[in-house]
Amino acid sequence: MKVSKYLRGSGRFLAFVFVASVLWLLFDMAALRLSITDVNGQLMKDLVLKERQLDKTQKTVTTNLRRYPVQKVNPDVEASERSEQFRRQVGEVYRGKKPRRMNGEKKAKPGVHDLAGSDPKVDVDQNQNPSVRKISPIHKVTPGIATEKEVLAKTKAPSPGQDGKHTKLQSNGTIPPQTPPKRPPKDSPQDANTFQKIEPDALKHAVQTIQIINKGESVVRGNVTAKPPQHLVNASSIQTRELLNSTSVRKKDGLHKVMNLDVTIKPRDTDAPGQFGWAAEVPLDDLEESKRRWSEGYFNVFLSDRIPVDRAIPDTRPQECMQNLVHDELPTTSVIFCFVDEVWSTLLRSVHSVLNRSPPHLLKEILLVDDCSTKDYLKEKLDAYMAQYPKVRIIRLKERHGLIRARLAGAAEAKGDVLTFLDSHIECNVGWLEPLLDRVHIDRRKVACPVIEVINDKDMSYVMVDNFQRGIFKWPLVFGWSTLSTDYIRKNNIKVSDPLRCPVMAGGLFSIDRKYFYELGAYDPGLDVWGGENMEISFKIWMCGGEIEIIPCSRVGHIFRGENPYAFPKDRQKTVERNLARVAEVWLDEHKEIFYGHGYLHLLDKNLIDIGNLTEQIQLRKKLQCKSFKWYVENVYPELEAPLAKAEGLVFNVGTRKCLVQEKGSLSFGICDLSKQSQHFSYSWVRTLRQNNTCVSAQVAERGVALEACDNTKPHLRWLHKSNKILAEHLIAETHFQHLCLEAGSEGDIVSLKPCDGSSPYQKWHFTHYFAQ
């Protein structure tokens, strides 16, 4: 009764509103609950899938790495931070962010920036001794320094960066002592926080940029605890984790961030000498022994033996490399080390650096080609040691073949898609392999070289080198390093991580598609032992359709040594000269005269040197339809100074004030007239005085001159000009023990040979243009 009373009139209406609101509220709550479950369900599903995927991938990695523990994920890294990173990466990939365009890559053709038309200034070293390679002056590109410094290295060491200071060459042509990256002193107040405050540049030089495996590990020194920079430690672990997490993304887009693998054989002893690439010190008591052992390798062998074979080294890659993506489906590689009498610990460190820092699925095998070493420890002991590592295979050459043919032997055995040649005293840095293989993958005619960093021969510290350096050569085919000018870098908007087109490679470290290597005819098998093969393969690659690049995101340390620690089967200088002559004859076309003219005229004397048969090499060049050396200079290395003659134009006689004329097979004089071809001569690099193919020859017996077909091997066709201070303007017949000079008759009608007279104007000759002294 009471209830029905309330439900009458407005009460009824209010009750209806109340009931409706309650119902609405219930419905709303149900809907909300539903959507929450949905989201949770989806999230859970994602998580489970991700975990499963991660688990699966980790299992594959760990099985592949049986002996080497994979780096652990740093517990400091918050899960949220990781998933944030992961989401960012996914976002980048889905938004279609491509890896940043490589150095000047035109859209049509990846990986090319046009060096033609570039204007890096080149400091020419005038005092090149043909047989001696000079060491680089240390040069660091700092904004504002607009010059390019040439590096002509005896040991081919690129210049280690040193805070913008130029280090002087020592008189003996060796590298002046570097300031090595020093371990912080034991009582250093540095802790994790102070490390992080160090400027990136300072970090690099102080070698604090460390990629550490045993994450969270502290470097304990007395009471002070110093940790490696946490952000770097984190960076690597996040990336590995991301990579493992992002398998599904990889499948979609085919790109991933470079794997920063760095595994250890056993936990790292942070106090070990040379650990983290720091300079190691010889205890005072051992100084004598370390000196005694120097010649075993021509570096500090004593220290090398004390440094862990799997030490960590600083990750010296430019920061930008962390963002670069590489393709998922990279080719596999066979790493080939050729060695002869290599130091035990150094050889092991080289091998471990490859095993520990290469993605296992890309490393098909490591081939150790023993070029008939004499050291006992490189026999059974090496076999036994390497037997632990199924990927390592030792190939023993029964006789000493030399580096070049040893590499051919290694390549013949290789099964990987790509051949990666390395010297046997190197340390591959974190993430070194994928960026190299990626370039070969993009275009199989790309030959990729890592940046070669310096392992200091005295204290074994790992020293990073300047960026923007590329391999070049100077006459007579002397390899060196050259830093791109800041102007050029700015104009072409070249990023520090962009691949650099490289006119010639240093020779020791590069990746090349295996089949392409053979299509190019591999190395000229006529090259002997060591030297010059880097020129041969470089010219061949460029002129026959390929490209050589230096990849800044791939870095490998190398011990540059003052001397070769092995015996040369033949005279070293003669071997290298002969190799270079073969290269010049096959590849340099008319430019080969420039090579001979820079101190190698004796190589033209067939009685003195036999450079062997070149027919096959010349045929190969024809078969491959390779371009001319002129094309190479214009398109690949336009900075090269390569005038085809030393001097050219009219040959003016100071006494008669007339010019030399060649007409109807004889020489005479005429009123100087540039328009007359008969008055045009050139003074060549091989010192001939010629017009087209006709050369002026000295007839010593008759004290006269004649004209005959040019032949660079004939000494009686050579004239000295501008080579002698007192007789600079003279043309001196080179063959005669007594100086005989070309002289114009006072009537201006005849030319003859007369004893040289420094003051006679009739013996002084000027060419219209001089291109070189």
Nearer to Mn ion, 423 or 498 (CB): 423
Nearer to ligand UD2, 400 or 445 (CB): 400
Residues 368-387 that bind ligand UD2 (CB under 6 A): 371
Nearer to ligand UD2, 385 or 568 (CB): 568
**Sequence-distant (≥ 6) Cβ neighbours of residue 245 within 8 angstroms:** 50, 53, 54, 82, 86
User: Least distance from C-beta 134 to ligand UD2, angstroms?
Assistant: 14
Nearer to ligand UD2, 563 or 749 (CB): 563
- Residue in 342, 438, 524, 547 binding ligand UD2, rule: CB under 6 A: 342
User: Least distance from C-beta 419 to ligand UD2, angstroms?
Assistant: 13
Strand-pair partners of 705: 698
Write the binding mask 398 to 427 for Mn ion: x where contact by CB under 5 A, - elsewhere.
Answer: -------------------------x----
Residues 384-443 that bind ligand UD2 (CB under 6 A): 402-403, 406, 423-424
Nearer to ligand UD2, 346 or 653 (CB): 346
Nearer to ligand UD2, 160 or 402 (CB): 402
Q: Does 338 bind ligand UD2 (CB under 6 A)?
A: yes
Q: What does 513 interact with, of Mn ion, ligand UD2, none (CB < 5 to 8 A by kind)? A: none
Strand bridging mode 363-370 / 478-483: unpaired
Identity of residue 249: V
Q: Does 315 bind Mn ion (CB under 5 A)?
A: no
Q: What does 452 interact with, of Mn ion, ligand UD2, none (CB < 5 to 8 A by kind)? A: ligand UD2
Instruction: Spell out the SS3 assignment of 528-559.
Output: CECCCHHHHHHHHHHHCCCEEEEEEEEEEEEE
- Residue in 210, 255, 529, 756 binding ligand UD2, rule: CB under 6 A: 529
Q: Does 339 bind ligand UD2 (CB under 6 A)?
A: yes
Residues 198-237 that bind ligand UD2 (CB under 6 A): none
Write the binding mask 667 to 686 for Mn ion: x where contact by CB under 5 A, - elsewhere.
Answer: --------------------
- Is 396 buried (19+), middle (13-18) or exposed (0-12) by CB count in 10 A? middle
- Residue in 564, 613, 746, 773 binding ligand UD2, rule: CB under 6 A: 564
Nearer to ligand UD2, 258 or 422 (CB): 422
Q: What does 690 interact with, of Mn ion, ligand UD2, none (CB < 5 to 8 A by kind)? A: none
Q: Does 530 bind ligand UD2 (CB under 6 A)?
A: yes
Chain residue whose CB lies nearest Mn ion: 423
Q: Say how far residue 234 (Cα) sits from the centre of its chain.
A: 29
Give the tokens for residue 62: 């760990």
Q: Collapsing DSSP states into helix, strand and coil, what is residue 321?
A: helix
Residue in the block written with tokens 């000018």 = 485
- Residue in 229, 297, 318, 531 binding ligand UD2, rule: CB under 6 A: 531
- Is 610 buried (19+), middle (13-18) or exposed (0-12) by CB count in 10 A? exposed
Nearer to ligand UD2, 379 or 714 (CB): 379
Q: Does 534 bind ligand UD2 (CB under 6 A)?
A: yes
Residues 96-155 that bind ligand UD2 (CB under 6 A): 155
User: Least distance from C-beta 262 to Mn ion, angstroms?
Assistant: 23
Q: Does 342 bind Mn ion (CB under 5 A)?
A: no
Residue in the block written with tokens 């020489």 = 667
Residues 541-560 that bind ligand UD2 (CB under 6 A): 558
User: Least distance from C-beta 331 to ligand UD2, angstroms?
Assistant: 22
User: Least distance from C-beta 143 to ligand UD2, angstroms?
Assistant: 29
- The answer to whether the CB of 320 falls within 8 A of the CB of 495 is yes
Nearer to ligand UD2, 132 or 224 (CB): 132
User: Least distance from C-beta 303 to ligand UD2, angstroms?
Assistant: 18
Distance CA 651, CA 648 (A): 8
Nearer to ligand UD2, 360 or 410 (CB): 410
Report CA-CA distances (Å) from 208 to 190, 310, 311, 452: 11, 18, 14, 19
Q: Does 454 bind ligand UD2 (CB under 6 A)?
A: no
Number of residues in contact with ligand UD2 under rule CB under 6 A: 25
Report CA-CA distances (Å) from 368 to 338, 389, 414, 453, 544: 6, 12, 11, 22, 30
Q: Is the peptide bond before 476 cis (omega within 30 degrees of 0)?
A: yes
Q: At what angle do helices 230-245 and 79-94 cross, to 10 degrees?
A: 60
Nearer to ligand UD2, 355 or 494 (CB): 355
Distance CA 309, CA 467 (A): 27
Q: Does 341 bind Mn ion (CB under 5 A)?
A: no
Question: Which range of residues in 287-295, 317-325, 504-512, 517-525 is near ligand UD2 by CB under 6 A?
Answer: 504-512
Q: Does 346 bind ligand UD2 (CB under 6 A)?
A: no
Q: At what angle do helices 615-623 and 572-587 cross, to 10 degrees?
A: 40
No. of helices (H) and no. of strands (E), the chain? 20, 29
- The answer to whether the CB of 456 falls within 8 A of the CB of 262 is no
Buried b (16+ CB within 10 A) or exposed e, 299-326: bbbbbbbbbbbbbbbbbbbbeebbebbb
- Is 541 buried (19+), middle (13-18) or exposed (0-12) by CB count in 10 A? buried
Q: Does 506 bind ligand UD2 (CB under 6 A)?
A: yes
Identity of residue 8: R
**3-state helix, strand and coil shares in percent for the chain, rounded to the nearest 5:** 35, 20, 45
Residues 153-172 that bind ligand UD2 (CB under 6 A): 155-156
Residues 423-442 that bind Mn ion (CB under 5 A): 423
Report CA-CA distances (Å) from 540 to 114, 449, 516, 533, 622: 19, 16, 12, 10, 12
Q: Say how far residue 543 (Cα) sits from the centre of its chain.
A: 19
Nearer to ligand UD2, 219 or 422 (CB): 422
Question: Which range of residues in 438-446, 491-499, 531-539, 684-692 is near ligand UD2 by CB under 6 A?
Answer: 531-539
Distance CA 597, CA 412 (A): 37
Taken in order 749, 751, 757, 762, the sign of the CA dihedral is positive
Q: What is the DSSP letter of 256?
A: E
Distance CA 547, CA 552 (A): 16
User: Least distance from C-beta 508 to Mn ion, angstroms?
Assistant: 5
Would you state the torsion angle of the CA atoms of residues 406, 412, 417, 418, taken in this order, to the nearest 10 degrees?
Answer: 20
Distance CA 672, CA 690 (A): 17
Q: Does 459 bind Mn ion (CB under 5 A)?
A: no
- Residue among 770, 739, 526 nearest 651 (CA): 770
Write the binding mask 462 to 501 for ligand UD2: x where contact by CB under 6 A, - elsewhere.
Answer: ----------------------------------------
User: Least distance from C-beta 529 to Mn ion, angstroms?
Assistant: 14
User: Least distance from C-beta 423 to ligand UD2, angstroms?
Assistant: 4
Q: Collapsing DSSP states into helix, strand and coil, what is residue 755?
A: strand
Q: What does 533 interact with, of ligand UD2, Mn ion, none (CB < 5 to 8 A by kind)? A: ligand UD2
What size, in residues, is the chain? 773
Distance CA 210, CA 418 (A): 29
- The answer to whether the CB of 291 falls within 8 A of the CB of 383 is no
Nearer to Mn ion, 148 or 423 (CB): 423
Q: What does 371 interact with, of ligand UD2, Mn ion, none (CB < 5 to 8 A by kind)? A: ligand UD2
- Residue in 277, 508, 552, 649 binding ligand UD2, rule: CB under 6 A: 508
Nearer to Mn ion, 157 or 500 (CB): 157
Binding site for Mn ion (CB under 5 A): 423
Binding site for ligand UD2 (CB under 6 A): 155-156, 338-340, 342, 371, 402-403, 406, 423-424, 452, 506-509, 529-531, 533-534, 558, 564, 566
